[in-house]
């Protein structure tokens, strides 16, 4: 009998549910989910994924809990697919399910995501991922998935561990993705991909969250919309470069070509504003702003956007938004 690989997945929203489906397809995986707001529905009924690529499936993982402490035990992989909010608190909450042999997999937006986990678990491997999956949770435990599907994955190297050990853990996890029949690319420097997606998210997530209009409407709203957006993107690219992450000059034009080919996009941050949920500010906007200030990079547009989005988030948390 093939030995089981114990995987704990933290965060069962739309994207988390998609990866739960992928991992659950591998016969070698024994999957435990930590569900929060949708715990009762997922515990009772499992997860239903209606995918344009994979078809419609309802599945039940090995175990569903509402708190990591209820799943205490040994896990080969702990996969975080939660929104990257209060990362320090999340890392501490996972202590009951992490030991020195556990590899932590971060499938989240943003940059700097790995730092709280490295501080909390200095002897663990960290696999860092950028996801391009289009999924929406239409009701608790019910998820629709469109054709967008790709995972970029690489090591956040741990200097205290042998590289061959870390590469083995990376290979083993990508084997599970392959068994789940999903697209993925292994990146030698995953931070390039992380910063590239932050350039995308800083522009579209932040601007749509502030304006509450779709991307196409924004770009046609005034003669200043496109130049301002491009300046914002270039500022983030310069922060990445000064932080030691090589970024391509062509990226801004490529991202504009991509967004112009799409119908108007309503972003996840914009949907969080509409739902009055906390926003992923720190890893998308806050870290680039902090690094820019440390490195002396001029970011006039980014500073304004960050300050305004922080005000919206504060209003949401304090219940002060216009009704």
pLDDT for residue 148: 86
Q: Percentage of residues in the chain with pLDDT exceeding 70?
A: 99
**Mean pLDDT score across all residues of the chain:** 96
Q: Is the pLDDT of residue 2 over 80?
A: no
Confidence of residue 60 (pLDDT cuts 50, 70, 90): very high
Residue showing tokens 């991922």: 129
- Going along the chain from its start, the domains and CATH numbers come out as 5-188 (3.40.50.720), 191-318 (1.10.1040.10)
Q: Hey, which bits of the chain come out as E strands?
A: 5-10, 29-34, 47-51, 55-59, 63-65, 77-80, 103-107, 125-131, 135-139, 142-145, 151-156, 184-186
Instruction: Please give the Cα distance from 123 to 103 (Å, whole number).
Output: 10
pLDDT score, position 323: 67
CA distance 262 to 35: 32
**The predicted structure's pLDDT at residue 1:** 63
- What's the confidence (pLDDT) of residue 306? 98
Only one residue has tokens 């990591």, namely 68
Q: Taking the alpha carbons of 284, 287, 290, 295 in that order, is the dihedral positive or negative? A: negative
Distances (CA, A) of 46 to 32, 53, 137, 189: 12, 20, 13, 36
Q: Are 241 and 192 in contact (CB under 8 A)?
A: no
In 5-102, where do the E strands start and end? 5-10, 29-34, 47-51, 55-59, 63-65, 77-80
Instruction: Give CA–CA dist 127/170, Å, rounded.
Output: 7
The confidence score (pLDDT) of residue 322 equals: 78
Neighbours of 10 (CB within 10 A): 23
Q: What does the pLDDT look like over 233-284, one tens digit per residue?
A: 999 999 999 999 999 989 999 999 999 998 898 999 999 999 999 999 999 9
The answer for residues whose C-beta is within 8 angstroms of residue 188's C-beta and 6 or more apart is: 154
Torsion angle of alpha carbons 268, 273, 278, 282, nearest 10°? 60
User: Tens digit of pLDDT for each residue in 91-120?
Assistant: 999 999 999 999 999 999 999 999 999 999
pLDDT the model gives residue 64: 97
Q: Could you give the 3-state DSSP secondary structure of residue 36?
A: coil
Q: What percent of the chain has pLDDT over 90?
A: 94
Q: Which residue has the tokens 């709280």?
A: 116
Higher pLDDT residue, 320 or 101?
101
Provide the edge-to-edge strand list for the sheet that holds 77-80: 63-65, 29-34, 5-10, 77-80, 103-107, 125-131, 151-156, 184-186
Q: Evaluate the CA torsion angle 21, 22, 26, 30 in order and state its sign.
A: negative
Judged by DSSP in three states, 135 sits in strand
Q: Taking residues 69-91, what's their average pLDDT? A: 95
Average pLDDT over residues 31-35: 98
Note the Cα 232 to chain centre separation in Å: 21
> What is the predicted pLDDT for the residue at 320?
86
């Amino acid at each position: 009998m093939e030995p089981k690989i114990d995987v704990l997945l933290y965060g069962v929203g739309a994207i988390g549910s998609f990866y739960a489906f992928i991992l659950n397809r591998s016969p070698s995986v024994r999957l435990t989910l930590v569900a929060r707001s949708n715990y009762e529905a997922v515990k009772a009924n499992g997860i239903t994924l209606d995918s344009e690529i994979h078809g419609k499936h309802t599945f039940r993982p090995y175990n569903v809990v509402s708190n990591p402490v209820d799943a205490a035990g040994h896990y080969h992989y702990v996969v975080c697919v939660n929104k990257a909010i209060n990362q320090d608190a999340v890392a501490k909450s996972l202590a009951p399910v992490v030991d020195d042999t556990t590899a932590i997999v971060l499938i989240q937006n943003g940059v700097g995501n790995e730092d709280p986990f490295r501080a909390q678990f200095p002897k663990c491997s960290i696999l860092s991922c950028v996801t391009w999956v289009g999924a929406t949770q239409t009701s608790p435990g019910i998820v629709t998935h469109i054709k967008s599907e790709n995972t970029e994955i690489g090591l956040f190297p741990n200097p205290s561990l042998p590289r061959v050990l870390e590469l083995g853990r990376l290979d083993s996890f990508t084997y599970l993705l392959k068994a789940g029949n999903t697209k993925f690319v292994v990146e030698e420097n995953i931070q390039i991909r992380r910063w590239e997606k932050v350039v995308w998210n800083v522009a579209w997530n932040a601007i749509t969250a502030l304006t509450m209009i779709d991307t196409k409407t924004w770009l046609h709203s005034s003669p200043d919309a496109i130049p301002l957006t491009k300046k914002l993107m270039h500022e983030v690219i310069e922060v990445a470069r000064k932080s030691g992450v090589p970024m391509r000059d062509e990226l801004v034009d490529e991202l504009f070509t991509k967004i112009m080919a799409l119908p108007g996009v309503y972003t996840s941050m914009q949907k969080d504003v509409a739902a009055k949920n906390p926003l992923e500010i720190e890893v998308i906007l806050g870290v680039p702003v902090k690094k820019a200030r440390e490195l002396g990079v001029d970011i006039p547009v980014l500073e304004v956007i960050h300050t305004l989005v922080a005000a919206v988030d504060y209003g949401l948390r304090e219940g002060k938004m216009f009704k």
